[in-house]
Structure 1
C-alpha cells in the first residue's frame, strides 16, 4: 500500500489523528473506573505516544518509539473489561471525528490484536 493509499491518509492524516486522540482521552479521563490507571501519568507524554501509535498503525509517516505494549502496561492490572471500555471510547472518538466505519474497524482491529499484551490475567 502506498502512503497515498494508507489508512492514515484516508482518515485525514495528523490533524485527524490528533483530533481523535484528544477526543478519546477526554472520554477516558472522565471515566471514574479508568482514572486510577492514569494517576501520576504525564498526560502530555501519553497523548504524544498515542498520536504516534495511531499514526503508526494506520501507515502514517511515523514510527512508534514507545515501549512495547506489554512493557508499557505491565503491572497496571488492566482487566479485560477496562480494555474493552477503552476500546469503546476509541470507537466513539473515531465515529465522532468522522472516520468512516470501515477505516475505524481496521484501526480497532489493530488495537484488539494487542489485547493479550495489555490485559493481565
Structure 2
C-alpha cells in the first residue's frame, strides 16, 4: 500500500468520485440538506464548488495539485455552521469512503484532515 493518502483515495479520479457521492449524500441528509439542495438549481456554481473541493482534498492529501480557492475561514464566514451540522458532514464523508472501499488507515487520514478544519468552519 502506498503511503500517500492522495493515491490511497484513488488520485484525482477517485477523489472526484468521492466528492460527487458526498455532495449527493449531503443533499439527502435531512440535517444538512437545506444547505446543499439549492445548488441543484445552480449547476455551474455546484461544479465550481465540487472542483474546489476536489482540488482542496487532492492538495491536502499529498497530491500534485494546487488549491486556488478561498481559505476555509473566508469560505464559511457567515454560514454559522453548527457542531451538529459539521458532524453530519463528517458522517456522510466517512459513509461514502466506506462505500468506495477506502481502507481504515485512509479513512482515519481523511478524518484527521476534517477534524483539523473544524475550528475554521464551525460557527463562523
> Do these two structures clear the TM 0.5 threshold for a shared fold by scoring above it?
yes
RMSD: 1.6
2:33 aligns with 35
Query: Given the two structures, how large is their TM-score scaled by the length of structure 1?
Result: 0.89
Secondary structure of the residue aligned to 2:111 is: helix
1:70 aligns with 73
1:102 aligns with 105
Matched residue count: 118
Query: Given the two structures, how large is their TM-score scaled by the length of structure 2?
Result: 0.87
Shift of 1:6: 1.5
Shift of 1:63: 1.7
More divergent stretch after superposition (46-55 vs 29-38): 29-38
Secondary structure of the residue aligned to 1:114 is: helix
Residue 48 in structure 1 maps to residue 88 in structure 2 = no
Moved over 4 A (4+): none
Unmatched 5+ stretches in structure 1: none
CA contact (8 A) 1:8 1:55 kept: yes
2:83 aligns with 80
Shift of 1:49: 0.9
